[in-house]
Structure 1
Amino acid sequence: MTIEQAKQSMDSLRNRESNLIRIQKEDFLTFRHELVKQPDFKYFRGIARHGGHVDYEYMNVPRS
């Protein structure tokens, strides 16, 4: 995953084009590195899955 692909995935969640995106284990660090830079970072929720994959969703209310 490139940085541009990570940003596109985040935009897809933000714009409600996707309800959920799955980030593969090998792409996690690239995605996370860009995610923490986002001003709406707290609206993203990651759910760890078996095998090291993470499913992300965009929430209406930021997490605390």
Structure 2
Amino acid sequence: MNTYEQQLENLRAGKLTSITIEKEDFLTFRDVLVQRADFKHIRGTAKQGGIVIYTYDLDARS
């Protein structure tokens, strides 16, 4: 399991409260993210400078 998959699994399990992704890592991270069955539970919040902070919501977005 690669680092992003492990981080997303830890986020889902509640071991992490958030994951911070830098601008240059976004596309690589996104490729892993969109392949997950729980993709709609993971919410990204964009910050200044191209940083995105991802959190896990129990309710899936539509």
TM-score for the superposition, normalised by structure 1: 0.91
Aligned residues: 62
Instruction: Name the aligned partner's letter for residue 32 of structure 2.
Output: E
Percent identity over the alignment? 45
Tell me which residue corresponds to 1:36: 34
Question: CA RMSD of the aligned region, Å?
Answer: 1.1
Which structure 2 residues correspond to residues 6-21 of structure 1 after superposition, within 5 A? 6-21=4-19
Unpaired runs of 5+ residues, structure 2, are none
Q: Secondary structure at the match of 1:34?
A: helix
User: Aligned-pair distance for 1:6?
Assistant: 0.8
Give how far 1:28 is off: 0.6
Give the distance between the partners of 1:8 and 1:47, measured in 2 at CA.
Answer: 20
Give structure 1 regions of 4+ aligned residues with deviation exceeding 4 angstroms: none
What are structure 1's unaligned runs of at least 5 residues?
none
Letter in 2 for 1:17: K
